[in-house]
């Protein structure tokens, strides 16, 4: 792992660097919080280890700044402040773990291994794009060829469902369960009606179509 350590105590910092380097990790060691902020935003790391109390910028403020910058690199805070309130403050600032000094190096290694085994968090998807069709999931708006398309809630849900599954056939049963939470065929034309309305908005005004009907089978969103 590539690890950035920010620790102003020379003895502790050198101890950590030597130990982690000996375990096969690549380690950068800084003594100042502001320098660590600059380094952490300029380079990519697998793990941060920050002292809570540092000159320039303390570990808590440093971590908050990095999380505000959407840097989600796992972080361990080291501190002599071991009260419940201090630990809670550290975790709420974005720390993945919190160790109170003095600590055993083997325990630190165990905690690093635990963090390394965690699955990486996926960034939140805020829009779906296929060709000239874009779906804004936050504003709940559809755009095609620069034109805003007004969709009703079910139409929006349908389009989102299709755009998340390009090229995959969606039967009437699948759509009833996914969009209407109906687990049986009510023998109604609700799916056909909404598909027709959606197609009239995203396809018919334009030169090419995305939604295709497979008669007797279902529907498919043809990705650009």
Residues contacting residue 104 through CB under 8 Å, at least 6 positions apart: none
Give residue-wise pLDDT tens across range 28-48.
999 999 999 999 998 889 999
Under CATH, to which class is 2-117 assigned? alpha beta
Q: Model confidence at 143, in pLDDT bands (50, 70, 90)?
A: very high
Contact 128, 160 (CB under 8 A): yes
Give residue-wise pLDDT tens across range 128-140.
999 999 999 988 9
Q: Is 127-221 a CATH 3.40.50.1110 domain? A: no
Q: Model confidence at 83, in pLDDT bands (50, 70, 90)?
A: confident
Average of per-residue pLDDT values in the chain: 90
Q: Is the pLDDT of residue 121 over 70?
A: no
pLDDT score recorded for residue 125: 79
> Prior bond to 73 cis, omega within 30?
no
**Residue of higher predicted confidence among 92 and 127:** 127
pLDDT score recorded for residue 113: 92
pLDDT average, residue stretch 44-55: 91
Q: What angle is formed at CA 41 by the lines to CA 119 and CA 81, rounded to 5 degrees?
A: 75
Put simply, whether the predicted model's pTM sits higher than 0.85 gets the answer no
- Give backbone dihedrals phi and psi of 124, rounded to 5 degrees, phi first: -65, 130
pLDDT average, residue stretch 195-217: 95
Domain layout of the chain by residue ranges: 2-117, 127-221
DSSP string, 48-78: EEEESS-SSS-HHHHHHHHHHTT----EEEE
Across the beta sheet with 141-144, the strand order is 127-130, 133-136, 141-144, 147-149
The label of the residue with tokens 């009833």 reads: 176
Give residue-wise pLDDT tens across range 149-173.
999 999 999 999 999 999 999 999 9
């Amino acid at each position: 792992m590539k690890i950035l350590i920010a620790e102003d105590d020379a003895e502790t910092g050198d101890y950590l660097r030597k130990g982690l380097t000996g375990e096969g990790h690549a380690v950068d060691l800084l003594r100042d919080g502001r320098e660590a902020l600059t380094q952490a935003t300029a380079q990519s790391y697998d793990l941060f280890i920050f002292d809570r109390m540092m000159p320039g910028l303390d570990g808590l403020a440093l971590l908050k700044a990095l999380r505000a910058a959407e840097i989600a690199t796992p972080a361990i805070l080291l501190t002599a402040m071991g009260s419940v309130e201090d630990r809670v403050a550290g975790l709420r600032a974005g720390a993945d773990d919190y160790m109170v000094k003095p600590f055993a190096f083997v325990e630190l290694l165990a905690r690093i291994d635990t963090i390394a085994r965690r699955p990486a968090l996926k960034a939140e998807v805020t829009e779906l794009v296929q060709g000239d069709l874009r779906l804004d999931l936050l504003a709940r708006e559809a755009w095609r060829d620069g034109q805003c398309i007004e969709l009703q809630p079910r139409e929006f849900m349908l389009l989102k469902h299709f755009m998340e599954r390009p090229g995959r056939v969606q039967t009437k049963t699948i759509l009833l369960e996914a969009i209407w939470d109906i687990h049986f065929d009510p023998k109604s034309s609700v799916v056909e009606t909404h598909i027709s309305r959606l197609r009239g908005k995203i396809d018919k005004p334009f030169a090419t179509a995305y939604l295709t009907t497979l008669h007797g089978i279902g529907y498919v969103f043809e990705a650009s």
